[in-house]
Amino acid sequence: MTTQNAQTSAGQGSHHWVLTLELPGRAAMTQFGTYTPPAGTTRYDAYVALRRHVTADHPEMARANTMFFALESNQL
């Protein structure tokens, strides 16, 4: 899954992300993709944007707990 405005000319965002959400005792899900944040974006801003992106596609997870979040450079 790639977030909106996440594409670069190479076809991948500048950062790779993984987000795991859990509704205790009911459901859990992990999503991942690439993302290119706008200039001046903080790690918190990116987390909020990516969580909103995921929960827009899965509204039942809007009140879920975040079990894991990673955001790292997509360059090796």
Encode pLDDT of 15-58 as tens digits: 999 999 999 999 999 999 999 999 999 999 999 999 999 999 99
**If 0-12 CB within 10 Å is exposed, 13-18 middle and 19+ buried, where does residue 66 land?**
exposed
- Of the candidate ranges 2-6, 8-12, 20-24, the one whose mean pLDDT is the lowest: 2-6
pLDDT at 3 over 70: no
- Within 1-76, strands assigned E span 15-23, 27-35, 65-73
Edge-to-edge strand list for the sheet holding 65-73: 27-35, 15-23, 65-73
Both tokens assigned to 73: 């450079």
The reported pLDDT for the residue numbered 8 is 41
pTM metric for this prediction: 0.83
